[in-house]
Amino acid sequence: MAGHNQLGEEGEKVALGFLRNKGYEILETNWRSGREEVDIIAIEKHTLVIVEVKTRTSDYSGSPEEFVTKKKQRRLIKAANDYIEQKDFNGETRFDIISIIMKDGIEEIDHIEDAYYPKV
């Protein structure tokens, strides 16, 4: 497995534990819609939360959340709409990013709630 894939998987495990500790109910991990994958789908206080996890070993070339591009956001929004339709979810939806820097056994976690919004 490529190093970046392994780092990404480690970051997702850290993010899952982080969200569970905050009281989130995890509904799905690595949920797929076509070619797009949603890292984590959770519920927090009756709100559906679509979570993109970005993990890096440093912020030298930018913070991890900066790598969630507008194109990636559009794809996640489409995937979220597919999920909502499939599950017949009727409620609020929020898009979060969990940014993780893992270096020398230390994890810096930044949970950005409402990181971006779908265009209406």
Q: Is residue 96 part of a domain?
A: yes
Q: What is the mean pLDDT of the chain?
A: 90
Report percent pLDDT > 90 for the chain.
Answer: 68
Q: Which two tokens stand for residue 109?
A: 């976690």
Task: Name residues whose C-beta falls within 8 Å of residue 83's C-beta, 6 or more positions apart in sequence.
Answer: 28, 31, 33, 38, 41, 48, 50, 89
Nearest-angstrom CA–CA distance, 27 and 73: 20
Q: How many domains does the chain have?
A: 1
Q: Is residue 117 part of a domain?
A: no
Domain containing residue 64: 3-112
pLDDT digit string, tens, across residues 33-71: 988 899 999 999 999 999 999 998 877 677 788 889 999
Tell me, what's the pLDDT at 2? 53
Tell me the CATH number at 46.
3.40.1350.10
Does residue 117 come out as left (phi exceeding 0), alpha (psi in the -120 to 50 range) or beta? beta
Tell me, what's the pLDDT at 12? 94
Q: Is residue 120 part of a domain?
A: no
> What DSSP designation does 59 have?
S
Residue 77 reports pLDDT greater than 60? yes
